[in-house]
Structure 1
């Protein structure tokens, strides 16, 4: 039994239309996946930025507390583990954040002091976000 040529053309067109439709659906799906990955990466970058800002503020608070307890305090390198920040266990080895505090005096005899804080979260360069704070403290009440 032979199939008339008209009918085989319809089947061919239907097959081509289905393939084109599947290709379009695949393109839309790939675009949606790419878009969701981009939004996820932006959200993570924003979270790192916010955490870095909060760590810089915490570094200032720590410096003020140490200066109150010991006026000769000159600063420190404060390494904060991932567990203390509530980071996921897959955050990687070593420290999860690094806060560097420096207290400098304008003149050797005393006077105004400058407190500089730099927070790096996480400390590794590819994803690191750095925030800084600087406050000048005067001796006059």
Structure 2
């Protein structure tokens, strides 16, 4: 009589282990990509926040200079340091205000502002603003 060999194969534990390892590798790659995306999004949000703070700091500095010119036409500017507590943020900001006579007007003043936020880091954002204001004529009506 002929002996038929059984075609049943024994399960190979190495194949199961390889499948599990490949599955873990895929999960780790997806996790790493999600982590990278979260970190990138967080950095973009910080840059966006710094841009907004810098913009509003520049706007406030222009208004500050305009008020100072109303009080004293001799105002030439200042370096305005704004503490973090005033900004409601984690870092202080600084605005450099320069006021000079306008070239096309005797009573006009050109306000130039450079606002930096945050002030103390190398990743600070610069926002620049200029505004031309006319002062009342001396001895005349506004």
Give your verdict on TM over 0.5. Answer: yes
1:7 aligns to what? 10
Between the aligned partners of 1:52 and 1:106, the Cα distance in structure 2 is 25
Change (3 A) 1:82 1:139: closer
SS of aligned partner of 1:123? coil
SS of aligned partner of 1:124? coil
2:139 aligns to what? none
1:64 aligns to what? 66
Structure 2's unaligned 5+ residue stretches are 1-7, 137-141
Between the aligned partners of 1:125 and 1:83, the Cα distance in structure 2 is 17
Between the aligned partners of 2:75 and 2:85, the Cα distance in structure 1 is 27
Between the aligned partners of 2:55 and 2:102, the Cα distance in structure 1 is 26
Q: Which has a greater percent of helix?
A: 1
1:104 aligns to what? 100
Deviation at 1:46, TM superposition (A): 0.4
Between the aligned partners of 1:128 and 1:30, the Cα distance in structure 2 is 29
1:36 aligns to what? 38
Structure 1's unaligned 5+ residue stretches are none
1:132 paired residue among 121, 128, 131:
128
Q: Under a length normalisation based on structure 1, what TM-score does the superposition of the two structures give?
A: 0.83
Between the aligned partners of 1:69 and 1:138, the Cα distance in structure 2 is 13
1:87 aligns to what? 89
Between the aligned partners of 2:55 and 2:89, the Cα distance in structure 1 is 16
Q: How many residues align?
A: 129
Task: Please identify runs of 4+ aligned residues in structure 1 that moved more than 4 A.
Answer: none
Q: Under a length normalisation based on structure 2, what TM-score does the superposition of the two structures give?
A: 0.82
Between the aligned partners of 1:138 and 1:47, the Cα distance in structure 2 is 33
